Amino acid sequence: MSGSGGRVVWGGRVISGLVSLAFLVSAFMKLKGGAQVTEGMAHLGLAESLIVPLAILLTGYMGGAICTHLRAGDPFYFQIGFGILVWLGLYLRESRLKALIPLRRT
């Protein structure tokens, strides 16, 4: 991989790495617990017993986060933007996805 193609793939890796880091921080905070996590879960109408499953099921977490914020009437733009970054990182580094969803024709 050389030239701009290599830079695009590395850009995708960096984006995915940053998103993964944010997911890990979120999971760590949920597993660590504390008053802030408990209050946040209560505000969203979720039982404390769901903290660990939410921390483990990160793949579906963004969809669940959007759904939960919609249900609570809270803004959810951050979750949508974060989900877009997840897909952008994957798209930039995975050629099979580019072939499946071409953004422009050559």
Residues 19-26: what's their mean pLDDT?
84
Residues 28-47: what's their mean pLDDT?
84
pLDDT band at 1 (very low <50, low <70, confident <90, very high): very low
Give the pTM.
0.54
Answer yes or no: are the C-beta atoms of 92 and 15 closer than 8 Å.
yes
Give, rounded to a whole angstrom, the gap between the first and last alpha carbons of the chain. 19
Residue 78 or 106, more confident: 78
Show the tokens assigned to 27: 């999971």
Residues 35-40: what's their mean pLDDT?
86
Q: Could you tell me which of 48, 26, 53, 25 has the C-alpha nearest to residue 38?
A: 48
pLDDT at 59 > cutoff 60? no
pLDDT at 25 > cutoff 80? yes
Answer yes or no: are the C-beta atoms of 83 and 62 closer than 8 Å.
yes
Residues 32-56: what's their mean pLDDT?
81
Query: What per-residue confidence (pLDDT) applies to 58?
Result: 59
